[in-house]
Structure 1
Amino acid sequence: MEQIFSPDGFEEVGSGPLYLQLQRRIGEAIDTGRLKPGDSLPAERDMAAMTGLSRVTVRKAVEGLVGSGQLVQKRGSGTFVAQRVERLEQALSLLTSFTEDMARRGKSVESVWLARGLHAPAPEEVMALGLGAGDRVARLERVRRSDGVPLAIERASISAQVLPEPERVDASLYAALEARGMRPVRAVQRISAANLGVRDAELLHVPPGAAGLKIERIGYLPDGRVVEFTRSLYRGDAYDFAVELKLAPEAERNG
Structure 2
Amino acid sequence: MTLSEQPRVLKHQVVRSQLEELLADLVEGDPFPAERDLAESFSVSRETVRQALRELLLDGRIERRGRMTVVAGPKIRQPLSIGSYTEAARERGMETSRILVGWKRLTADAVLADRLAIAIGDPVIQLERVFTTDKVRVALERTRLPAYRYPDLEADFEVTSSLYAEFRRRGVRFGRTEDTIETTLPDAREAALLHVDARTPMFLLNRLSYDKDNTPIEYRRSLYRGDRMAFTQTMYAD
Q: Check whether TM > 0.5.
A: yes
TM-superposed CA distance for 1:157, in Å, is 0.7
**Identical-residue share of aligned pairs (%):** 21
Q: Secondary structure at the match of 1:64?
A: helix
2:79 maps to 1:90: yes
1:216–1:194 CA distance, 2 compared to 1 (3 A): same
Structure with bigger RCO (C-alpha 8 Å, 6+ apart)? 2
Question: TM-score by structure 2 length?
Answer: 0.73
230, 234, 242: which one pairs with 2:233? Answer: 242
Question: TM-score by structure 1 length?
Answer: 0.69
Q: Secondary structure at the match of 2:148?
A: coil
2:180 maps to 1:188: no
TM-superposed CA distance for 1:197, in Å, is 2.7
Structure 2: stretches of 5+ with no match in the other structure: 1-9
What are the equivalent positions in structure 2 for 1:225-240 lying under 5 Å apart?
Answer: 225-236=215-226, 238-240=229-231
Asked if the contact 1:191/1:213 (under 8 Å) is kept, the reply is: no
Cα distance in 2 between the residues matched to 1:68 and 1:174 = 35
Q: Secondary structure at the match of 1:161?
A: helix
For 1:129-148, what per-residue CA distance to the aligned partner results, in whole angstroms no more than 9, with x for missing partners?
12224322111222222222
1:165–1:190 CA distance, 2 compared to 1 (3 A): closer
Q: How many positions carry a matched residue from both structures?
A: 220
Structure 1: stretches of 5+ with no match in the other structure: 1-15, 248-255
88, 113, 126: which one pairs with 1:126? Answer: 113
116, 126, 138: which one pairs with 2:125? Answer: 138
Asked if the contact 1:67/1:207 (under 8 Å) is kept, the reply is: no
217, 227, 231: which one pairs with 2:207? Answer: 217
1:206–1:102 CA distance, 2 compared to 1 (3 A): farther
Cα distance in 2 between the residues matched to 1:143 and 1:116 = 13
The letter for the 2-side match of 1:39 is: P
Asked if the contact 2:178/2:207 (under 8 Å) is kept, the reply is: yes
Asked if the contact 1:155/1:230 (under 8 Å) is kept, the reply is: yes
2:56 maps to 1:68: yes
For 1:3-40, what per-residue CA distance to the aligned partner results, in whole angstroms no more than 9, with x for missing partners?
xxxxxxxxxxxxx96x777655554333311x752637
Question: Highest CA radius of gyration, 1 or 2?
Answer: 1
Q: Secondary structure at the match of 1:224?
A: coil
Asked if the contact 1:189/1:215 (under 8 Å) is kept, the reply is: no
TM-superposed CA distance for 1:175, in Å, is 1.9
